[in-house]
Amino acid sequence: MEGFVDIDSLKDAVINERLDFAFISPAAYVEVGLTKNLRILSTITQTNADGYSPWLAGAVFTRASRTDINSLADVRDKNVVALSEIALGGWLSAVREWQDLGIEPEKDFSSLVFNFSYADVVAAVCTGEMDVGVIAANTLPAYLDTCPEELKVLPQPRVTQDISFSPPHSTRLYPEVAFIMVGTHDEEFIRLLTRALLTIEHDSPVAQAVNVCGFTAPLPYTEVESLMQELGVGPFRDLNRMTIQQLLLDNITPITLVLLAIIAITSVGYINAHRLSRRVRATESFRKLVFEGSQIPMAIVNPENYTYLDMNKAAVELYGYKDKEELINMPLMKLTDPEQDIDTTVESAMEQTQQKVRENGEATFDWRHIRPDGSKWTARIHLMALESPTGLLNQATIQDITQQKIQEEERRNLEQQLAFSQRMESIGRLAGGIAHDFNNLLTIINGYCEVLMLEMSDSQTKSVLEQIRKAGVRASELTQQLLTFSRRQAIRHIPVNINRMISESSEMMRSILGENSRLKLVLTTADCNVMSDPGQIQQVLLNLVVNAKDAMPHGGTLTLSTEEVFLTPANARGLEVAAGEYIQITAEDTGVGMNAKIRQHIFEPFFTTKEDSGTGLGLSTIYGIIRQSNGTIRVTSKEGEGSTFLILLPKSSKAEASQDKVDNVKLPIALDAFRILVVEDQDDVREYVTSVLGNAGYSVMTAASGNEALALLKEQDENIHLLLTDVVMEGMSGGELAELFSQQYPDIPVLFMSGYPGDELARYGIRAGTRKFLAKPFSPTELLDRVGAILSNTMAKV
């Protein structure tokens, strides 16, 4: 990293390519860009009163007590101090405003001093040494406390931009400092670098290290070039200072010099009636230096019929042509992509832009073009009114912002993904918070309901209890769906063959679709093994079928297909997955389709288009399962044209194996010989578990906390055969209790139970989804089966 004390040293380093990248001021970028092809990667953002902005403006300020200075027009005959002759916010932007008011600083100011120190400029005004100061608007607030007297910023005479800019300012807005690439570099590296720059937070160490607030997509600097041309500064200084004699010497042969000199002398009155800068623009010198020789694409446009009258080499190449003669007199419409990001017709948009040029003298807009090879690209065009002997023309400065638009779209996608992830995380935390208490309640409701059903003989009572049980089971399923969606439910990943699962479930899928719809399977012959939970993958497939059925109320075709795909880093970009081998599952229906608004929300929980008939958890559950399996899901759809869901799951080299089964081995001795210690802080859940185990014949001890359980163990002389403990309890957790218990009873098994999701349990060192964990809610049968299996396994080892 290299620093420069002056702008000339930096420009020299850029021109001679002694740097790979550089932060360069807007005016310096324009000056160097006329001779060197530079590429802007981003524009920096700086602090605003209400946030951060990539724009800068000038602040013309004075002491608040100066009642004689209230506008830019009041600066006549005053002493003015500014940063530098080439400072954009600290001088040039203000000069433009003064010239529009008919004020020429060098003639109309009492004195003019340049001092390239923000502190010195402010101090000179505060002490009364100078009447008026000019610095960048977003910099002035930092120096207000150094002035004993209140300062005021002179207001902007007119507003020509709708861009929000909070600090008080006196001029129009211009783009901030550019971060540029010098020379050529690897495109993949540049893409990654640019993407990294755009995601830098304002308070990050990186931003602080380079003294900025962050970065945004590159802004167009055509307005800065137009300003410098208009003021005749920087690379345009000599043009505006050309004399008649210099123009004649540069463009006319010596033989005719005398004759033309006589004509020039007799035409002095006419010549003085026109601004010299306009005559210079009509000379061949101007064309060669500023128009033809510029690296910035430029064109001359006829505003009456929207045709190109002239175009420099850079513009011809940008438009994809070999010779500018191909473009002369060509209508803009022939190069225009009919699909523009506008709210009106193309013709109407062009007329509105031209109206702005007529009213303000300029206009900036984005326009999508088509090259001869059919490729589309987007230009940011700055139109400026240009007087000519034949009437008003438009000078167009053109910047290719296709990559910028792509980056902006990627950034919007990243922001949308971030916002979506944050919403999902919030819902996940909510789900985790309610899951414990809700599952405790369901454990009691569902458990006692099953106990009553076993004891009741009356069929009518049993029917009522069955409805209660079904409602409880449905409530449990909804809780699990919400946890699955939020990726907070622990699952065990094992090899799953997607093709086999689809084939074995095909009859069930056809039954779901109904007789008026058709299921078409297009399965690859390759191995389609992925690492996931078989039950949840089946849930994904069935949910897709149910979703397709609802989208095809009058029948149709659902096509399920599988194939192997390989994602390169470029292909994987924006898919939330890494590069590598994947199994792609595609579900394509011929249903009613969706509009963009619906597509934006379909994976969010409780969002449904089925009015009162849906829970809104079907597609959100699919999303959670796929993401938890390290995959991704995307949807494409248009109203009336059906929908296509595309799922990518990482391919596994492991073959599918049979799932483990828990055998209910009958215990060789009476159950009352087994003593179980139950630790649960919820009284009603503890009573339910104790009741089920006691009725089954086990000897049960209970404790309401970990400390109570340890105290109870010290008092007991009899052996403990199983510790059954809740995980999350006030005070000592189940994990901590199990660790202390195992120190005293290393051979005694521990069975954990909890209603919390898997990621919460991980904080306590507990692995959900194993045989030593029982998820709430659980039925009496599930409890007895798990306890019996663990005790049987323990007895088998003795």
Q: Per residue in 252-280, pLDDT tens?
A: 444 444 444 444 444 443 344 344 344 44
Tokens 């473009």 -> residue: 327
Helix, strand, coil percentages in the chain from 3-state DSSP, rounded to 5: 45, 20, 35
What is the structure's pLDDT at 298? 87
We report the CATH number of the domain holding residue 90 as: 3.40.190.10
Check whether residue 376 and residue 410 sit in a common domain: no
Check whether residue 758 and residue 791 sit in a common domain: yes
What is the structure's pLDDT at 451? 80
For residues 609-637, give the mean pLDDT.
Answer: 73
What lies within 8 Å, CB to CB, of 664 at 6+ separation is 785, 788, 789, 792
Domain that holds residue 705: 671-797
Domain assignment present for 658 = no
* Nearest CA-CA partner of 418 in 635, 620, 576: 576
pLDDT band at 582 (very low <50, low <70, confident <90, very high): very high
We report the CATH number of the domain holding residue 348 as: 3.30.450.20
Domain assignment present for 537 = yes
Q: What is the DSSP string of 669-721?
A: S-GGG-EEEEE-SSHHHHHHHHHHHHHHT-EEEEESSHHHHHHHHHH--S---
636 or 432: which leads in pLDDT:
636
177 or 201: which leads in pLDDT:
177
pLDDT band at 324 (very low <50, low <70, confident <90, very high): confident
Check whether residue 560 and residue 645 sit in a common domain: yes
What is the structure's pLDDT at 482? 58
Check whether residue 411 and residue 349 sit in a common domain: no
* Poorest-pLDDT segment among 19-33, 245-259, 367-381, 573-587: 245-259
For residues 1-16, give the mean pLDDT.
Answer: 69
Check whether residue 542 and residue 632 sit in a common domain: yes
| Domain termination site, one of 175, 192, 211 | 175
Check whether residue 225 and residue 256 sit in a common domain: no
Specify the pairing of strand 298-302 against strand 391-400.
antiparallel
Beta bridge partners of 53: 46
Domain assignment present for 445 = yes
We report the CATH number of the domain holding residue 635 as: 3.30.565.10
Check whether residue 639 and residue 511 sit in a common domain: yes
Tens digits of per-residue pLDDT, 514-569?
Answer: 888 999 999 998 888 998 878 778 878 888 898 899 889 889 999 999 999 998 88
Q: Which pTM value belongs to this model?
A: 0.42
Domain assignment present for 664 = no
Domain assignment present for 367 = yes
Check whether residue 23 and residue 101 sit in a common domain: no
Check whether residue 453 and residue 348 sit in a common domain: no
Check whether residue 621 and residue 521 sit in a common domain: yes
* Nearest CA-CA partner of 629 in 767, 525, 790, 494: 494
What is the structure's pLDDT at 268? 44
For residues 625-638, give the mean pLDDT.
Answer: 86
What is the structure's pLDDT at 65? 94
Check whether residue 514 and residue 606 sit in a common domain: yes
Number of domains in the chain: 7
Check whether residue 550 and residue 686 sit in a common domain: no
